[in-house]
């Protein structure tokens, strides 16, 4: 049974051999307690782990226990193997490189198997408890050890430590949830050794295209690279203008300027903080070559209105969907809402890798071909360069990581939407102004952002209680030293105001209701 | 006579094989100094289970993990006597000897 989220995220159970054999073979007076603790894992109450090196011992003892009632050895062997499969669907293996045993301190214990369980649990899990019937375990490591009976009597809450500091985005819980798949995918890359443009690149592109509904997907080195390659594919260069928002991460305007073009900033809507589509047409000139809206905080902008204006002037639209992969607009997926969609797999993004990565989406065959060539130094075939390009490929390893994360992405999007709605309710009840979401689209809440007065005081209050906050973004791009010559600061008064008041709160698919309530109370 | 014995994982072996007459007693007493003993490893020492509780299908609520285990085990889904940590260690030791010393 695949469980994505556990109620008690602050404690992790590691099962010793004896408890597993007791549970699986209904052995001894406490077998029901051992099964009871495994049931907590099965029901999504708590994470359950085992040390891989103990599995052969579990198997051997299990087979011996069953053999006494079996007709022949084949029967007990088969039954033991079936039970091991069941076990691996319930519990996750602790990561193990393989040479740990040789590095353990021989002075600590003469029971290497137990010592290694303790070592692996302590090295990898933040707050493990060993579930065992062996009280010598306490000698092998500093990790708390409990008999199944004791855990059931005391309850999990008694062992759930409050984290010292709430993370802004909890990537550790997510990583533990998908660790076996991550390791499998990473090992596959190490095995085939095609680190650049390996089979995972094409597989990911196919899966992402299918997810968004776009005809083509081209993975690239980062979200910034996705924007740059897209503009290059459209032939945007010196003297051209691209209409965009000043209230975004700098990459949006940076790539335009890098190509010698000029970003033309259009102010934002006061409630969604996305580009105000009603103001775009007035900014179109004969030099305008594209419109680049940003799906800020995970919510698409008014794409129908923007696409209509673009169609009127025969302009392409590039959706900067760095924050909104997984969101929808009138039933269609973000990244497939205009001529081109660009997203980012920066680790903190709703779908992130463990480094930099990004992707371009389009239905246009010519743009697709151009993007593919530009991504690899403009080459149409090996060492034949038909256009100027960049070294912009996404690593095979990063694609392998996104593939592992993609398996539970639908669940994460559902969680994000539910948590965003709960945040909305808490903020509305408390009378706190927040970024609004439109009814005809969903946000994946890459950030959950509120509007506050005297922001530095509010930030200090949060810091005092150990809750991180962030500001997306404190200065509009048209006020940044590198870009201020392009547009007057007062030309976008809403962006100017919002930059002084926005504050983002912790967000992620594994954020708990308890944490949300604590955040709302602090606010 | 006195015989040298070796204690390993809770079991006794003679250092050299002894061959007893067919009518010799089966049981002998060995005295171990109290200070040589350490406490049991088991958290709770199982009381010997009542015979009527053994070899029964473990009771299971509908939808529970126990029900799933019973289903997977079929006719092998039975309650069994406990095994101390020492018993398990010995069983494992026997297995290793069997595998590597061809016993």
**Quick one: A118 and A72 in the same domain?**
yes
Is there a domain that residue A450 lies in?
Answer: yes
For chain A, what is the domain count? 3
Report yes or no on A341 lying in a domain: yes
If contacts are CB pairs under 8 Å, which of residues 74-93 in chain B contact chain A? 74-83, 85, 88, 91-92
Q: Is A101 helix (H, G, I), strand (E, B) or coil?
A: helix
Same domain, A321 and A424: no
CB contact under 8 A, A42 and B58: no
Chain A segment 6-35 residues within 8 A of B by beta carbon are 17-18, 21-32, 35
Contact A48, A15 (CB under 8 A): yes
Show which of residues 28-67 on chain A sit within 8 Å of chain B, judged by CB atoms: 28-32, 35, 38-39, 42, 57, 60-61, 64-66
Give the burial string for A172-185 (b: 16+ CB within 10 Å, else e): ebbebbbbebbeeb
Q: Are residues A395 and A511 in the same domain?
A: no
The confidence band for B44, taking pLDDT boundaries of 50, 70 and 90, is confident
- The answer to whether the CB of A284 falls within 8 A of the CB of A313 is yes
Distance in angstroms between the alpha carbons of the first and the last residue of chain A: 38
Are A476 and A330 found together in one domain?
no
Are residues A127 and A24 located together in one domain of the fold? yes
Q: What are phi and psi of A479, to 5 degrees?
A: -110, -5
Both structure tokens of A474: 């404190």
* Closest chain B C-alpha to A405 CA, distance in angstroms: 28
> Phi and psi (nearest 5°) for A71?
-75, -35
d(CA A387, CA A234): 12
Report residue A139 CA to chain centroid gap: 38
Which CATH number covers residue A22?
Answer: 3.40.50.1010
- Confirm whether A170 is domain-assigned: no
User: Which range (A88-92, A228-232, B28-32, B92-96) has the least confidence?
Assistant: B92-96
Tell me which residue in B43, B66, B91 faces A133 most closely, judged by beta carbons: B43
Per-residue pLDDT tens over the stretch A473-505: 999 999 999 998 887 768 899 999 999 999 999
Identify the domain boundary among A342, A377, A406: A406
CATH number of the domain residue A433 falls in: 3.90.1150.10
pLDDT, position B17: 87
Chain B residues in contact with A30 by the CB 8 A cut-off are: 44, 46, 82
Do A155 and A271 belong to one domain? no
Q: For residues A153 and A362, what is the distance between their CA atoms, to the nearest angstrom?
A: 57
Is there a single domain that holds both residue A358 and residue A338?
A: yes
> Which of B58, B76, B77 lies nearest to residue A70, judging by beta carbons?
B76
Shared domain for A508 and A374, answered yes or no, is no
pLDDT at residue number A1? 47
pLDDT at A104: 80
Q: Which of A18, A38, A149 sits opposite B65 (nearest CB)?
A: A38
Report the pLDDT value the prediction gives residue B52, as an integer from 0 to 100: 76
Q: Which of A502, A473, A474, A479 is nearest to A492 (CA)?
A: A479
Cβ atoms of residues A247 and A272 within 8 Å:
no
A2 in a structural domain: no
Does the beta-carbon distance from A42 to B78 stay under 8 Å? no
Give the helix/strand (H/E) hosting A459.
helix A455-464
Nearest to B73 among A61, A79, A147 (CB): A79
Judgement on whether residues A414 and A392 belong to the same structural domain of the protein: no
* CATH number of residue A376's parent domain: 3.40.640.10
DSSP A38-86: HHHHHTTSEEEEE-GGGHHHHHHHHHHHHHTT-SSHHHHHHHHHHHHHH
Contact A28 B92 (CB under 8 A): no
The predicted structure's pLDDT at residue B91: 85
Q: How far apart are CA A503 and CA A453, in angstroms?
A: 10
Are residues A141 and A79 part of one domain?
yes
Number of A:B CB contacts under 8 A? 101
For an interface test with A, give the residue of B85, B90, B97, B99 to mutate (most A CBs within 10 A).
B85
Residue A246 lies in a domain: yes
* Residue range(s) defining the domain that contains residue A286: 175-406
pTM of the predicted protein model:
0.88
CA distance readout (Å), A189 to A221, A351, A463, B74: 17, 20, 41, 41
Taking CB atoms and an 8 Å limit, are B73 and A76 in contact across chains?
A: no
What is the model's pLDDT at position B102? 66
The residue out of A341, A372, A406 marking a domain boundary is A406
Report the residue from A31, A60, A86 with minimal CB separation from B95: A60
Q: Flag whether A398 is in a domain.
A: yes
In a domain? residue A1: no
Out of A110, A129, A162, pick the residue that ends a domain. A162
What is the Cα Rg of chain B in Å?
20
Name which of A28, A55, A72 to mutate to probe chain B: the one with the most chain B Cβ atoms within 10 A of its Cβ. A28
Q: Are residues A387 and A416 in the same domain?
A: no
- CB atoms B68 and A24 under 8 Å: no
Q: Is A96 on the interface with B (CB under 8 A)?
A: no
Distance CA A466, CA A515 (A): 12
Answer whether A18 sits within 8 Å of B92, measured CB to CB: no
Average pLDDT over residues B60-83: 96
Looking at beta carbons, which residues of chain A come within 8 Å of B88? Answer: 17-18, 21, 61
Q: To which residue do tokens 């499969």 refer?
A: A85
Residues A413 and A399 in one domain: no
Does A168 fall in a domain? no
Partners of residue B85 in chain A, C-beta under 8 Å: 18, 133-134, 136
Residuewise pLDDT in 10s, chain A (523 residues): 456 667 777 899 999 999 999 999 999 888 999 999 999 999 989 999 999 999 999 999 999 999 999 999 999 999 999 999 999 999 999 998 888 888 887 776 777 888 899 999 999 999 999 999 998 887 667 899 999 999 999 998 888 776 667 889 989 989 999 999 999 999 999 999 999 999 999 999 999 999 999 999 999 999 999 999 999 999 999 999 999 999 999 999 999 999 999 999 999 999 999 999 999 999 999 999 999 999 999 999 999 999 999 999 999 999 999 999 999 999 999 999 999 999 999 999 999 999 999 999 999 999 999 999 999 999 999 999 999 999 999 999 999 999 999 999 999 999 999 999 999 999 999 999 999 999 999 999 999 999 999 999 999 999 999 999 999 999 999 999 999 888 776 889 999 999 999 999 999 998 988 889 999 999 8
> Is B85 in Cβ contact with A18 (below 8 Å)?
yes
- Residues on chain B touching A66 (C-beta within 8 angstroms): 73, 76
Contact A83 B72 (CB under 8 A): yes
Predicted confidence at residue B103, as pLDDT, reads 53
């Amino acid at each position: 049974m695949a469980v994505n989220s556990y109620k008690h995220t602050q404690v992790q159970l590691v099962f010793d051999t004896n408890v597993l054999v007791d549970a699986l073979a209904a052995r001894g007076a406490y077998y029901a307690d051992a099964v009871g603790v495994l049931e907590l894992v099965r029901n999504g109450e708590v994470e359950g782990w085992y040390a891989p090196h103990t599995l052969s011992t579990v198997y051997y003892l299990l087979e011996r226990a069953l053999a006494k009632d079996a007709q022949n050895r084949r029967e007990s062997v088969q039954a033991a193997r079936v039970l091991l499969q069941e076990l691996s669907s319930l519990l996750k293996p602790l990561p193990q490189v393989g040479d740990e045993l040789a590095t353990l301190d021989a002075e600590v214990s003469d029971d290497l198997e137990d010592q290694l369980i303790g070592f692996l649990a302590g090295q990898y899990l933040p707050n493990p408890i060993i579930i065992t019937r062996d009280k010598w375990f306490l000698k092998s490591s500093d990790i708390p050890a409990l008999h199944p009976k004791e855990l059931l009597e005391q309850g999990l809450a008694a062992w759930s430590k409050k984290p010292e500091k709430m993370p802004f985005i909890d990537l550790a819980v997510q990583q533990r949830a998908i660790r076996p798949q991550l390791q499998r995918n990473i090992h596959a890359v190490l095995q085939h050794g095609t680190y650049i443009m390996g089979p995972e690149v094409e597989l990911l592109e196919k899966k992402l295209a299918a997810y968004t509904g776009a005809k083509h997907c081209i993975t690239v080195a980062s979200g910034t690279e996705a924007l740059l390659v897209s503009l290059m594919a459209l032939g945007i260069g010196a003297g051209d203008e691209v209409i965009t928002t000043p209230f975004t991460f700098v990459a949006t305007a940076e790539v335009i300027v890098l190509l010698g073009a000029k970003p033309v900033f259009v102010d934002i809507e006061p409630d969604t903080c996305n580009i105000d589509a009603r103001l775009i047409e007035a900014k179109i000139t004969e030099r305008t070559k594209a419109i680049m809206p940003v799906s800020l905080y995970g919510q698409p902008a008014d794409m129908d209105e923007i696409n209509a204006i673009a169609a009127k002037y025969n302009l392409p639209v590039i959706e900067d969907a760095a924050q909104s992969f997984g969101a929808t607009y009138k039933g269609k997926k973000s990244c497939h809402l205009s001529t081109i969609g660009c997203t980012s797999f920066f680790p903190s993004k709703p779908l992130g890798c463990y480094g930099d990565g990004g992707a371009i989406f389009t239905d246009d065959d010519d743009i697709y071909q151009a993007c593919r060539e530009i991504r690899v130094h403009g080459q149409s075939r090996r060492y034949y360069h038909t256009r100027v390009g960049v070294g912009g490929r996404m690593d095979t390893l990063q694609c392998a990581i996104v593939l592992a994360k993609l398996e539970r992405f639908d669940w994460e999007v559902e969680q994000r939407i539910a948590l965003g709605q709960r945040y909305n309710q808490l903020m509305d009840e408390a009378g706190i102004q927040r970024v609004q979401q439109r009814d005809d689209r969903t946000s994946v809440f890459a950030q959950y952002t509120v509007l506050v007065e005297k922001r530095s005081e509010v930030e200090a209050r949060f810091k005092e209680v150990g809750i991180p906050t962030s500001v997306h973004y404190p200065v509009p791009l048209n006020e940044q030293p590198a870009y201020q010559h392009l547009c007057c600061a007062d030309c976008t008064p809403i962006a100017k105001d919002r930059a002084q008041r926005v504050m983002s709160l912790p967000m992620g698919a594994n954020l708990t209701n308890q944490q949300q309530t604590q955040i709302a109370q602090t606010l | 006579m006195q015989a040298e014995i070796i204690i390993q994982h809770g079991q006794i072996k003679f250092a050299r094989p002894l061959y007893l007459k067919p009518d010799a007693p089966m049981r002998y007493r060995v005295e171990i100094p109290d200070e040589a003993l350490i406490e049991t490893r088991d958290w709770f020492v199982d009381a010997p289970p009542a015979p009527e509780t053994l070899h029964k299908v473990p009771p299971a609520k509908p939808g529970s993990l126990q029900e799933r285990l019973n289903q997977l085990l079929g006719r092998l889904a039975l309650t069994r006597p406990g095994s101390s940590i020492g018993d398990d260690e010995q069983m494992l030791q026997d297995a290793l000897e069997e595998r590597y010393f061809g016993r």
